[in-house]
Amino acid sequence: MADDIYEEAAQAIITSDRAAAEEVAQRALDQGIAPGEIMALGFVKGIQEVGELFESGELFLPELMMSADAMAGATEVTNAALEGAAAEVKGRIVLGTVQGDVHDIGKAIVIAYLKANGYEVSDLGRDVPAASFIARAKEEGADVIGMSALLTTTMEEQRKVVKTIKDEGLAFKTVVGGAPCTQRWADQIGADAYAEDASDGVKKIDALLGR
């Protein structure tokens, strides 16, 4: 039953079991479950629960880090299944996690989706200063700058990038994402789009570039 495998996926993350997470991810793919589906309905549910347990003080940083490692294992398996799916290049994107922020699991998923949907993506990594987003976008002739932020304290970095683009009259489109971000936040800082998840990211970028 598909529901059982989603529950198994969530449990592998909650119990910080990387080997189990990789095995469940592969088994789901072998059963014909789409990478995005096992991720959204299984693994992401697990890491969200871990976040809630951490917030309520029932789980501590070392356990959170081990769950993140299990999540990274699952993401590697599902992202590998997305490789090579696209035929045409629709545009160039530079994408990173903003300065002060090391959360990069969501970013890795977004990048895999964008690549699978025909975009060339440069992964700038995490803890990326505002100036580096702009410099790399210029160097690579990017169409879009994507910024991930998971902390309320680091979201402000997205505003810096958007402001520099406007101040310098640059043409890059900007997309923001990450758990604390919303459409309202994107409007507030003048970003061109907010993406709720990886598939929404593809949709919003397609729309921005008229693809």
Binding site for ligand B1M (CB under 6 A): 44, 47-48, 50-51, 54-55, 61, 64-65, 68, 71, 95, 100-107, 109-110, 146, 148, 150-152, 175, 177-180, 195, 197-198, 201
Residue showing the smallest CB distance to ligand B1M in the complex: 106
Q: What angle do CA 10, 66, 127 make, to 5 degrees?
A: 105
Nearer of residues 7 and 69 to ligand B1M, judged by Cβ: 69
Alpha-carbon gap, residue 157 to 30, rounded angstroms = 40
Nearer of residues 29 and 179 to ligand B1M, judged by Cβ: 179
Alpha-carbon gap, residue 92 to 115, rounded angstroms = 10
Cβ-contact 40, 95 below 8 angstroms: no
Alpha-carbon gap, residue 78 to 177, rounded angstroms = 20
Nearer of residues 1 and 177 to ligand B1M, judged by Cβ: 177
Alpha-carbon gap, residue 83 to 178, rounded angstroms = 23
Nearer of residues 100 and 129 to ligand B1M, judged by Cβ: 100
CB of 97 to ligand B1M, least distance (A): 8
CB of 53 to ligand B1M, least distance (A): 9
